[in-house]
Structure 1
Amino acid sequence: MKIDFIKMEGLGNDFIILDDRDTKIEQYENYPALAKKLCSRHFGIGADGIILILESRDHDIKFRIYNSDGSQAQMCGNGMRCFAKYLYEKKMIGKKAIRVDTKAGTVIPEVITNDKDQVQSVKVDMGEPVLACRDIPFESGNKKAVDEPLAVGDKEYRITAVSMGNPHAVIFVDDVKKVDIVKIGQLIENHERFPEKTNVEFIEVVNKSELKMKVWERGAGITLACGTGACAALVAAHLTGRASQKAIVHLDGGDLDIHWDKASNHIFKTGPATLVFDGRIRI
């Protein structure tokens, strides 16, 4: 079977977008196996994950994402920007703001266009941050885990646990360049206190309105950017008095503008999305 695909990236976090509204792809091969195959950087197209465009009964469209290891993620901020830009530019949906069905609930991305109606950036209403440990989930004796100690081997890290539809462990460090992202990231991702595993963000505070971030993503490893992680980072930084309600998060792939609107308690994320190439592949 041959399928059409589009390769996109948001700050270097790259995805393969597949239109399976007629379910023909799923009928031929299950999504987890397909994700492993297509995301291989040696034997496939190469990506951090695949994103499926699916029909929805009560939303404008349905978004589903599978990581490169075949695991399903609830949401992905960078992937959502790519998703929204693709839908708008291909005229699959004519509205600039759309209601998207995700495993994390309703997400509303809005494309920002220039005078030629070209998408310049995408602003995504990421919803409300979840801080209750039982809902993240994170095993703790406290209702919320803000700057809470976490024993990892013979070392202790202080984390702030946040869910943006998917779990995050945010750690503040003096210099992100000196952190062993792979070693520490793997250990915390698979820590027993995170029953569904977790994404891990390492944050260096530049000032109240700027954060540097490196990320270890659950199911994908080191990536150049993580949209939900950047949102979680701002939440954790604000809760611990390190940042204001709005900040630029500097990632390896570029910058994201994150705003925690306290009036609505929603997190808004604005950033770019770029087409890399499209094509057809036999599966």
Structure 2
Amino acid sequence: MSIKIQFSKYQGAGNDFILIDNRNGHFDRNNEELIKKLCDRRFGIGGDGLMLLQNTKNFDFEMVYYNADGAEGTMCGNGGRCIVAFARDLNIISEKTDFLAVDGPHDAEIAAYQVNLGMIDVNQIHRDREAYVMNTGSPHYILKVNDLANLDVFKEGYAIRNNEIYGEKGINVNFIEPEENGYFVRTFERGVEDETFACGTGATAAAMAMAIDQSLEGDLRIPIRVLGGQLYISFHKSGNTFTNVYLKGPANFVFKGEIEIG
């Protein structure tokens, strides 16, 4: 028996996602094989991940995020911005929202194609030799490098993500290099198991790592350039504690359609 699934496609700085309005609860959120198939770029719709927009008490909606491998994932910053745009386009919200994700409540504001998304506070920063390690809704490893444009991000990121320290649960690996107007970041994402055009929680972690690295304090706004565009991270830093954290960047509708799954 085949089923037809209505979907929309959005992208945030090149991070692309399948969005499904599941307020009626008809989509089976436990069907990992189906989600993996939908995310496949040759046999499905194609995407770095899939999100369900669902009803929940006390919030405008709930965001349920899945990695491209079909498994339910941790928080996705670029996905969070895209689902805010999706909710706006469904007339669930207008300019502001409070929604629920796997790491707790998030607030956001949307104007045209830019979404400013509230992220979780961070107060635990670890070091792994030269790298910074933290959780900004998803776990991240941040390493400063030279000549990032020519770095083999797949090879280097794959090795760190699968090493004896991080291999069991995996970690997202971010390489960062200073540039004239901020920083350039490239990311190897677990769950996708490849480099992506952007990673919102990774850009957030990278900005925090550089604030520590440069001994910055107070209210800060750090530009982060990724392969897919420009992101801006703002927060209040006091020592190694980050509060009032926001991730700002684009969220664009690409297309919508219907797919039949047999």
User: What TM-score do the two structures reach when normalised by structure 2?
Assistant: 0.90
Structure 2 match to 1:282: 260
Distance, in Å, in 1 between the alignment partners of 2:37 and 2:216 is: 41
The 3-state SS of whatever aligns with 2:163 is coil
Structure 2 match to 1:227: 200
Distance, in Å, in 1 between the alignment partners of 2:33 and 2:156 is: 28
Structure 2 match to 1:46: 46
Counterpart residue type for residue 100 of structure 2: D
Instruction: Give 1:242 deviation, angstroms.
Output: 7.2
Counterpart residue type for residue 248 of structure 1: P
How much identity, in percent, do the aligned residues show?
34
Structure 2 residues not aligned, in runs of 5+? none
The 3-state SS of whatever aligns with 1:60 is coil
Counterpart residue type for residue 202 of structure 1: F
Give the structure with the higher percent strand: 2
Distance, in Å, in 1 between the alignment partners of 2:244 and 2:143 is: 22
Q: State whether structure 2 residue 118 is matched by structure 1 residue 125.
A: yes
Between 1 and 2, higher relative CO (CA 8 Å, sep ≥ 6) is seen in: 2
Structure 2 match to 1:178: 150
Once the two structures are superposed, residues 92-115 of structure 1 have per-residue CA deviations (whole angstroms, 9 ceiling, x without a partner) of 234x22111111111112112xxx
Structure 1 match to 2:87: 87
Aligned equivalent of 1:193, options 148, 162, 165: 165
User: What TM-score do the two structures reach when normalised by structure 1?
Assistant: 0.84
User: How big is the alpha-carbon RMSD for the aligned residues of Structure 1 and Structure 2?
Assistant: 1.8
The 3-state SS of whatever aligns with 2:169 is coil
Distance, in Å, in 2 between the alignment partners of 1:235 and 1:31 is: 36
Instruction: Give 1:193 deviation, angstroms.
Output: 2.2
Once the two structures are superposed, residues 242-276 of structure 1 have per-residue CA deviations (whole angstroms, 9 ceiling, x without a partner) of 77732111100000011122387121111111111
Distance, in Å, in 1 between the alignment partners of 2:49 and 2:123 is: 24
Q: Which runs of 4+ in 1 moved over 6 A?
A: none
8 A Cα contact 1:16 1:47, kept in partner: yes
Distance, in Å, in 1 between the alignment partners of 2:216 and 2:163 is: 27
Structure 2 match to 1:166: 138
Q: State whether structure 2 residue 67 is matched by structure 1 residue 67.
A: yes
8 A Cα contact 2:197 2:227, kept in partner: yes
8 A Cα contact 1:129 1:235, kept in partner: no
Once the two structures are superposed, residues 48-81 of structure 1 have per-residue CA deviations (whole angstroms, 9 ceiling, x without a partner) of 0101101112322100111111122221111111
Counterpart residue type for residue 92 of structure 1: I
Structure 1 match to 2:109: 110
Once the two structures are superposed, residues 132-154 of structure 1 have per-residue CA deviations (whole angstroms, 9 ceiling, x without a partner) of xxxxxxxxxxxx423x31xxxxx
Once the two structures are superposed, residues 168-213 of structure 1 have per-residue CA deviations (whole angstroms, 9 ceiling, x without a partner) of 0001001112322111211211233235211010000115x50001
Aligned equivalent of 1:255, options 211, 226, 230: 230
The 3-state SS of whatever aligns with 2:126 is coil
Structure 1 residues not aligned, in runs of 5+? 113-118, 132-143, 150-157
Aligned residues: 252
8 A Cα contact 1:129 1:232, kept in partner: no
Aligned equivalent of 1:246, options 221, 225, 233: 221
